[in-house]
Structure 1
Amino acid sequence: MGLRTTAAVLVGRAVRVAARLRGGGSAIPGNIALRIDPGFLERTIAAIPDGVVAVSGSNGKSTTTNMLSAIVRAHGLSVFTNPSGGNLPQGIASALLSEVSVSGKLDSDIAVLEVDEGYGTRLAELLKPKTVLLLNIQIDQLNRYHEPDRVAAMLGRVAASSTEGLILNREDNFLVDLDQQIPAKAGRAVSFFGGVPALVEPASHGVASADRFGESAASPGSRPAAVEVVALNGARATLAIEGAVLPTSGVAERTEIEVRLPARGLHYALDAAGAAAAARSVLGARFKPALVTAALDSLATVYGRGEMLVVNGEQIEIIMMKNPASLQLNLDSLESAPEQVFLAVDEGTPDPSWIYDIDFSALDHVDGITGSKAWQFAVRFGYLSIPVGSVDLDVRAALKAFLALPKPSTGHKVMILNYEQMMDIRKILGFKELEGGGAA
């Protein structure tokens, strides 16, 4: 396999350079590499000493993978991850191309990998994760996932593949007792993360967990949490972390830490709790809560996930609407109606009918809408009597008009974008580096 692997790495790297010059195509280099050497991904990952942590769920995968990687690095481990959110085999292979030697050797202690829920079963077979972290099961892209029960079944198989650790969100209707729905495995430790009722219960739409019908289930919030969000203040959260049981008293140590979040919102705080709980599980006695604070306080935001861009001296917040839950939770987290707001959505959201289930009361107007699905949103806002300044299907023209608006008297400009428009608009603005670099 030596010559084939070398060819896969060299050709993949060349394609990667060309793709980055164009400002996209993060999965293409990995796809080419896997065509040349189909075993490249599986063989390289299998050689990592401390194995794989797989992170999956309907929302928050990229953010949580980024957080967990930073926490593990803060503990002195070398981490391989897929930072651009490429969570299919070709995306992970693309990330490998910049890390491996020409012979295909990866110099990392552990892999922390975002895993696509729809492809999770196959990836679990390839990656053989020691630890699995599952964030949530929410209403997702109906054209792809159909029903939450289907996603629950897929993620159940991913959870069952874990050999040493399984970390679950106790606030989720499906995950609160997932450990009891899959075959037990000797040596696998199960732990949970969540938030205190005082934070979860008053949330406008809870944690947007999908409804579970037709069977008796454990009550969300009922499982003891290894890490718990106990306070939330804007983009800062306080996490309570359970430690080892003290031999003298039989009582578990409990440490409270404060961490910075990528953006405001309970959903981001739960992502941080999940990352801390996974690090606690993976690192065991080596885990130090203070290093969670150090890691998250200095962490760069994953592109498009609460990202703040600076364009022509103005701050612009990017809010991504991947699916109904992500849009709703991001709207819920707004402290007040944005003074200037722009929306762009295209065929990456093939059926936007779910917008009729969204509570848009956090918005009092929209300055401009663009993208091929713009009129569907404009009609919805019309029914809600939310004024829309303009609808222009020409994305560049609409974006130019929005940027030309005077600087807001309070706050900053806000863009609500689906994934494909987020990628395109970042490129138009000059941010071509997929992992979040670049300059306007």
Structure 2
Amino acid sequence: MRARLGPRGTAALWAGKLTAGLSRGLRRGGGTTLPGDVARWVDPKVLTKLSRSLTGGTVVITGTNGKTTTAALLRHILEVQGLPTVANQAGANLIFGVTAAVVNRTSWSGDVPARVGLFEIDEASLPRLVEDVAPGTIVVMNLFRDQLDRYGELETTAAHIRRALTRGPEGMTAVLNADDPMVAALGDDLPRVIYAGLDDPSLLQSGLSHGADAKFCPRCGTPFVFEGVYFGHVGHYRCPRGDFSRPSPDVRATSIVFDGMDGMRLRVTDGQQDADVAVPLSGLYNAYNVVLALAAAKALEVPLAKSAVALRDFTPAFGRMERTVIDDRPAILLLAKNPTGFNEVLRTAIQFGRARSFLIALNDRIADGQDVSWIWDVDFEQLRGVARHIVVSGDRALDLRVRLKYAELPDDQIEVVTDWRDALDRAAQATPAGETLFVLPTYTAMLELRAVLTRDGALQPYWQGRPGDAKP
């Protein structure tokens, strides 16, 4: 549908598209952010004007972990139903990245070849995006400590999200993680809420990790009673005074079976239908991504059974359980960017991937957060007695090396390699034949490593959508 842009909006669109072409032509990147900056400078309302042409409405996904994978799952479901989407699948999740994604997909004449807008957004940027695009659905994944130098404490982040939820358009649906107390509490007094969660008691753990964040009732401040957690503070909880408890999920997985790193099978119900869902993802954190994507699809009136069928041929998003081959060794990239996420990635790699060889890369750039003290809340002790060889790389490789020393990992198992290509080569060389190399980078470290692999032809550029097949 053609957007009504007016002269200023048309100028903004053209400026953004020219910027994208120049960025790619000069190999300065994929044009995933700068075109949005330029277009918004010309017309601050350009995103609003373009989004009005999306006849199927807009979905916004926010939270600390899982935004990109959940957006990719939902996008796949919708497109199988014949609902083309425009999405910022490259992961540029500030307002400029969302604007760039829409500008890039729009034709020079203003035609937007999509019915649904599907945008992941940084938590602090959510209120601004809600104001711009008036989404019909907002999905909130979880809230964990992440980039404290940018966001502050979790209460501040929750306040940003709450403000956006209460200012959303009439008829908006909030899709919330019932198992995260801070997220579930956001649903108070909202007129339309769909809660999603896990209800497989066999996977609950009895104790909170030392890095758990939401331990207290948001109403009275009393410590929660946890019947069990799946990871971090996410699980089944209640206030002993009765002031707050876990909402009953509208969409829930009642059984989860893992097939190593190759995938998992979930039994999911939404109160109307039951469905078996198989996806090529592993780990409990990905089980949440799946049920929240299914809940968002329900909000868009896609039946559970149809969503389940659609996910059979899903392909993971870049850097999120993405497979490739490095020097004839199979490798899996697993983004890890905060304590809870890193703990779960390590647990998944060790428990389901039987990981022995690792490349761990830590950067401290703006998109990563410049305070890396969070690595001391990561349970690297999981690697004791498991890791055969670890290559450490990135801007803050030496900080990571010190952390691994205090995790009491043997010195002869750890190697610091600062050059990105050399780090990949050395990690692959140290991986025995028949085993898989696990690459665990922070966000910008992942982009650096993928850039090397892209130049080698092992992966396609992250801004081109689905990952390409690995090339030996």
TM-score (norm 2): 0.82
Question: What SS is found at the alignment partner of 1:166?
Answer: strand
**Aligned residue runs from structure 1 range 34-433, under 5 A:** 34-162=40-168, 163-180=171-188, 183-184=189-190, 188-202=191-205, 210-213=213-216, 215-216=218-219, 221=236, 222-234=246-258, 235-243=263-271, 253-261=272-280, 263-283=281-301, 287-334=302-349, 335=351, 337-348=354-365, 349=368, 350-363=370-383, 364-365=386-387, 366-387=389-410, 388-410=413-435, 412-430=436-454, 431=459, 432-433=461-462
Preserved CA contact (<8 Å) 1:242 1:255? yes
Preserved CA contact (<8 Å) 2:253 2:269? no
CA RMSD of aligned residues (A): 2.5
Hey, what's the Cα distance between the residues in 2 that align with 1:140 and 1:314? 32
Hey, what's the Cα distance between the residues in 2 that align with 1:15 and 1:203? 53
Hey, what's the Cα distance between the residues in 2 that align with 1:102 and 1:232? 46
**Cα 1:118–1:84 shift into 2, 3 Å:** same
Hey, what's the Cα distance between the residues in 1 that align with 2:77 and 2:53? 22
Could you tell me which amino acid in structure 2 is paired with residue 425 of structure 1? L
Question: What SS is found at the alignment partner of 1:375?
Answer: helix
Give 1:10 deviation, angstroms: 3.1
Hey, what's the Cα distance between the residues in 1 that align with 2:207 and 2:319? 23
Give 1:297 deviation, angstroms: 1.8
Give 1:373 deviation, angstroms: 0.7
TM-score (norm 1): 0.88
Could you tell me which amino acid in structure 2 is paired with residue 360 of structure 1? F
Give 1:6 deviation, angstroms: 3.3
**Cα 1:207–1:356 shift into 2, 3 Å:** closer
**Cα 1:112–1:206 shift into 2, 3 Å:** farther
Hey, what's the Cα distance between the residues in 2 that align with 1:200 and 1:101? 48
Encode CA deviations 1:147-193: one digit per residue, 9 max, x unaligned.
1111111111222234331111110011223211xx54xxx421111
**Cα 1:176–1:13 shift into 2, 3 Å:** same
Question: What SS is found at the alignment partner of 1:64?
Answer: helix
Stretches of structure 1 lacking an aligned partner (at least 5 in a row): 244-252
Preserved CA contact (<8 Å) 1:71 1:296? yes
Encode CA deviations 1:273-296: one digit per residue, 9 max, x unaligned.
00101111221xxx3223222322
Encode CA deviations 1:231-265: one digit per residue, 9 max, x unaligned.
2222213132224xxxxxxxxx341322214x311
Encode CA deviations 1:76-113: one digit per residue, 9 max, x unaligned.
22222211112222111211123212232323222121
Encode CA deviations 1:45-95: one digit per residue, 9 max, x unaligned.
123223211111111011111111111222222222211112222111211
Give 1:406 deviation, angstroms: 5.0
Hey, what's the Cα distance between the residues in 2 that align with 1:203 and 1:107? 49
**Cross-structure match for 1:246:** none
Q: Which has the larger displacement, 32-41 or 8-17? A: 8-17
Hey, what's the Cα distance between the residues in 2 that align with 1:134 and 1:207? 24
**Cα 1:289–1:109 shift into 2, 3 Å:** same
Stretches of structure 2 lacking an aligned partner (at least 5 in a row): 226-234, 237-245
Could you tell me which amino acid in structure 2 is paired with residue 397 of structure 1? D
Give 1:272 deviation, angstroms: 0.5
Identity %: 26
Hey, what's the Cα distance between the residues in 1 that align with 2:431 and 2:269? 45
Encode CA deviations 1:376-413: one digit per residue, 9 max, x unaligned.
11111111221343112233322232233354433x11
**Cα 1:135–1:239 shift into 2, 3 Å:** farther
Aligned residues: 421
Preserved CA contact (<8 Å) 2:275 2:308? no
Give 1:312 deviation, angstroms: 4.1
Could you tell me which amino acid in structure 2 is paired with residue 403 of structure 1? A
